[in-house]
Amino acid sequence: MSKPIIATASLAGCFGCHMSILDIDDRILQLIELVEFNKSPIDDIKTFTKQCDIGIIEGGCCNSENVEVLKEFRKHCKILISLGECAIMGGLPAMRNGIPVKECLEEAYLNGPTVGLNAEKVMPNDAELPMILDKVYPLHEIVKIDYYLPGCPPRADLIWAAVVALVTGDELNIPYELVKFD
C-alpha cells in the first residue's frame, strides 16, 4: 500500500511554521514512515512530481509568484491546510496593507535609512521579479482551504496531531490545549 503524499511551501512569512514542523523532533522519523514528501523544502523537491494528498502552506500572498504557487498547490493537492497566522490572516506581512504599494517601494528603495547603496535611486524593474500585490492576502481569499492550523507559529504537537489524523483517516479532533495561546 502506498503512503499518503504531502507537499509543503512557505509564501510571505518567516518560515517559522516549517520550523514547527521540524519541532516534532524524533516523531519526524515516525512521520517519514507514515507519509511520502513531494514538493517541499523538507526534501528539497522543487516541483510537483505527482498528485498529493495533503498540501501544507505557511505564509500569505504578497506577490504574483505567491499566488501562482498557491494555485498550483490547490491544483495538485486533495486537501489544503493553511498553517499559521500569516496563511490564515496575513500575519505580520499584512501590516503593510494600510500603506499604498508605491509608498512601500519608495521607502524600501529610495527614502529608507538603509538605501545608501542605491545612490542612483533605482527602483527594481525586471520582468522576472514577481509583481507586488495591493495587499497581503490570506490563502482562503485566493483558493479554497480545507483546514486551518492557527498559531505564530502553530505548536509542533498541533501539527503532529492534525497530520497524523489526516493521513490515518482518524477524525481531526484537536484538543483545546494544542490550540490555546497564553
Cβ-Cβ contacts under 8 Å for 73 (sequence gap 6 or more): 7, 9, 55, 57, 80, 143
d(CA 16, CA 23): 10
Q: What is the mean pLDDT of residues 28-40?
A: 92
Coil vs helix vs strand at 49: coil
d(CA 55, CA 46): 14
CATH number, domain 5-96+135-179, options 3.40.630.30, 1.10.287.70, 3.30.565.10, 3.40.50.700: 3.40.50.700
In this prediction, residue 182 carries a pLDDT of 61
Joined grid coordinates for residue 96:
503593510
pLDDT at residue 181 in the model: 67
- pLDDT, one tens digit per residue, over 105-131 is 999 889 888 887 778 888 888 999 999
Q: Which residue has the higher pLDDT, 177 or 159?
A: 159
CB 73 within 8 Å of CB 57:
yes
Q: What is the mean pLDDT of residues 11-23?
A: 94
Residue-level pLDDT at 116: 78
Residues near 52 by Cβ (< 8 Å), separated by ≥ 6? 5, 6, 7, 38, 39, 76, 77, 78
Domain ranges of the chain: 5-96+135-179
Q: What is the pLDDT of residue 158?
A: 94
Of the listed ranges 40-54, 81-95, 137-151, the least confidently predicted one is 40-54
Q: Write down the pLDDT at residue 114.
A: 80
The radius of gyration computed from the CA coordinates of the chain, to the nearest angstrom, equals 18
Q: What digits encode the pLDDT tens for the residues 59-109?
A: 999 999 999 999 999 999 999 999 999 999 999 999 999 999 999 999 988
pLDDT attached to residue 172: 80
Using alpha carbons, select from 2, 11, 5, 1 the residue that is nearest to residue 48.
5
Query: Given a cut of 70, is residue 142 above it in pLDDT?
Result: yes
* pLDDT score of 66: 98
Give percent above pLDDT 90 in the chain. Answer: 77
